[in-house]
């Protein structure tokens, strides 16, 4: 039986100012996103069987959303209908989620999830990989409990699990600090992806406060290795840790590279550079999809990190939250960059 990757998290609608060339006709554009949905979309485009689990209100708009997900090749049978609204966020043109973002997610259908609402035995019966992010448990304690419920169910079934350590400080408003919530989730994860600063904020790993003063690629990558080893020591189930580094030297120049620590060795990607970024949203989700794509297909570690990095970098040149890159496009970007 061909097993699927399951992505679990909140589907969001994104509203952003329209690009300059069309803003007079239509001042805003609407995109469909959400970190886990973005990862699912990338995987489906790379021919990985993937299904998506979220919660949507039972209305005509949700039917259009399901039609679109299925059009993109994502299985939607695990989507639950409950509540009254889809979460929304507002993002400035070309902005980063850490800067110009406004969330409108309170009382969304997903945010009202509670333990027992999802039949995980049913949802996971054809799944070999479960992926979620640290965004969902930032919403409230009930959703954090459901994330743990999902990971515990996957652990019982010996399903591979992964978590993206997205840190969204604007979401943590319910009286808990991330470090009080996220470690219990990571205890059940085989792959942890993020960066050295997110790991510090969410897991309490060590951080060199002078790392930016050193500023050398070698220092950042050595810190990534130290963070990876610390995570693996604290969380024995964890087999692989990935770290990303994205630096904007000014408005038009960007440097991107990553690392993957697995099987006792760190594998570093090539550097990618660009002048001009179309959209920063979804790049990390694409990187996670690239990691899952590589591990799912049993690729070699260096090939896994190289592909994931190229995919994430390519996403920076696409408008919207989810990528339209196919395997050929990502592979060509890798080849062109190496040349």
- Encode pLDDT of 15-35 as tens digits: 998 876 655 678 888 999 999
The total of other beta-carbon atoms located within 10 Å of residue 103's CB is 18
For helices 196-203 and 217-234, give the axis angle rounded to 10 degrees: 30
The one-character DSSP state at 308 is H
Given CA atoms 29, 31, 34, 39 in this order, what sign does their dihedral have? negative
Mean of the pLDDT values across residues 76-85? Answer: 97
Its pTM stands at 0.96
312 and 290 Cβ atoms separated by less than 8 Å: yes
Q: What is the pLDDT of residues 136-191, one digit of tens each?
A: 999 999 999 999 999 999 999 999 999 999 999 999 999 999 999 999 999 999 99
d(CA 192, CA 217): 21
Asked if pLDDT for residue 109 goes beyond 60, the answer is yes
Asked if pLDDT for residue 240 goes beyond 90, the answer is yes
d(CA 138, CA 268): 30
To the nearest whole percent, how much of the chain has pLDDT over 90? 84
| pLDDT band at residue 96 under the 50/70/90 scheme | low
3 state DSSP class of 306: helix
3 state DSSP class of 248: strand
| pLDDT band at residue 306 under the 50/70/90 scheme | very high
Q: Which residues contact 328 (CB under 8 A, 6 or more apart)?
A: none
């Amino acid at each position: 039986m061909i097993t699927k990757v399951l992505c679990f998290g909140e589907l969001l609608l994104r509203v952003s100012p329209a690009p300059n060339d069309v803003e007079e006709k239509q001042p805003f554009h609407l995109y469909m996103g959400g970190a886990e949905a973005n990862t699912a979309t990338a995987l489906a485009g790379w021919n990985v069987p993937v299904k998506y689990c979220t919660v949507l209100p039972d209305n005509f708009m949700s039917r259009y959303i399901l039609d679109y997900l299925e059009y993109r090749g994502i299985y939607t049978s695990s989507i639950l209908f409950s509540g009254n609204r889809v979460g929304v966020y507002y993002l400035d043109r070309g902005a980063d989620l850490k800067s110009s973002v406004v969330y409108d997610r309170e009382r969304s259908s997903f945010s009202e999830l509670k333990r027992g609402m999802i039949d995980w035995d049913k949802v996971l019966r054809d799944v070999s990989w479960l992926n979620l992010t640290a965004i969902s448990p930032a919403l409230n304690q009930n959703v954090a409990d459901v994330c743990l419920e999902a990971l515990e169910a996957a652990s019982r079934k010996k399903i591979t699990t992964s978590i993206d350590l997205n840190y969204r400080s604007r979401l943590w408003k319910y009286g808990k600090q991330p470090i009080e919530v996220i470690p219990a989730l990571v205890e059940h994860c085989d792959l942890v992806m993020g960066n050295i600063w997110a790991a510090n904020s969410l897991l309490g790993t060590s951080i060199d406060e002078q790392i930016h003063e050193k500023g050398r690629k070698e220092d950042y990558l050595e810190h990534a290795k130290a963070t990876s080893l610390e995570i693996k020591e604290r969380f024995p189930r964890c087999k692989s840790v990935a770290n990303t580094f994205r630096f904007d030297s000014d408005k038009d120049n960007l440097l991107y590279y990553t690392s993957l620590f697995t099987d006792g060795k760190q594998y570093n990607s090539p550097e990618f550079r660009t002048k001009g970024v179309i959209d920063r949203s979804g790049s990390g989700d694409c990187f996670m999809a690239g990691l899952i794509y590589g591990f799912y297909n049993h690729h070699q570690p260096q090939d896994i990190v190289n592909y994931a990095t190229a995919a994430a970098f390519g996403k920076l040149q696409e408008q919207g939250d989810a990528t339209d890159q196919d395997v050929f496009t990502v592979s060509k970007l890798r080849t062109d960059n190496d040349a």
